[in-house]
Amino acid sequence: MQKFQKFQGLLVALLLATTPIQVLAHGDVTPHPIDTSTLKPLGDEWIEPNPYRGDATAIAVGALGYMHNCAGCHGLNAVSGGIAPDLLLLGKECLDLASKVKQAACMKESDHFFKEVTLRGKKNGEGRSIMPAYDAVFKQEAVWAVKAYIDSRSLEEKAKNPN
């Protein structure tokens, strides 16, 4: 019995270790909607920069949305495994700037870039989709919640490695 339990534990560990790869291998990258009902509604007119930046509830909602939609390619906790670009670099570039004014302008630009890529997705040189478009399932509440989460991760990383 004990032996069996050990074996089961091993199986679970193996499954966990291979899950992100399987997600990719099976091509299950269907965009999943995010429940943003706990967040302040933003309306249909796009607001830039991200109005949710620093909002704890939005960060939590965005973290879940990120897990379900982006982590398979961009990595758990937004730490890239090398399959897709490191999204933490977007915020790092801004946080490395000395002046707060420049940082804010940089963040606004990064918000815009992030929104455009997320809504449209990405195609490779041959026109094959390499990142799905999220415009059919993400309203701006969802886009900004995920960005708020990624920015909060960039801040955490910056706090760990100030230079």
Which residue ranges make up the site for ligand HEC (CB under 6 A)?
29, 69-70, 72-74, 84-85, 87, 114, 117-118, 122, 130-132, 134, 146
Among the listed residues 89, 107, 87, 109, the one whose alpha carbon sits nearest the alpha carbon of residue 99: 107
| Cα–Cα distance for residue pair 143/31, rounded to 1 Å | 12
Look at the block and give the residue holding tokens 């999220």.
Answer: 134
Contact 25, 83 (CB under 8 A): no
Q: In the complex, what is the shortest distance from the CB of residue 14 to ligand HEC, in angstroms, rounded to a whole number?
A: 23
Q: In the complex, what is the shortest distance from the CB of residue 114 to ligand HEC, in angstroms, rounded to a whole number?
A: 5
Among the listed residues 70, 35, 40, 74, the one whose alpha carbon sits nearest the alpha carbon of residue 55: 40
Among the listed residues 82, 49, 79, 78, the one whose alpha carbon sits nearest the alpha carbon of residue 66: 78
Q: CB nearer to ligand HEC: give 29 or 105.
A: 29
Q: CB nearer to ligand HEC: give 58 or 72.
A: 72
Q: In the complex, what is the shortest distance from the CB of residue 75 to ligand HEC, in angstroms, rounded to a whole number?
A: 10
Q: In the complex, what is the shortest distance from the CB of residue 141 to ligand HEC, in angstroms, rounded to a whole number?
A: 13
* Residues 6+ away with beta carbon under 8 Å from 43: none
| Cα–Cα distance for residue pair 78/148, rounded to 1 Å | 12
Q: CB nearer to ligand HEC: give 95 or 146.
A: 146
Q: In the complex, what is the shortest distance from the CB of residue 62 to ligand HEC, in angstroms, rounded to a whole number?
A: 9
Q: CB nearer to ligand HEC: give 64 or 130.
A: 130
Q: CB nearer to ligand HEC: give 55 or 146.
A: 146
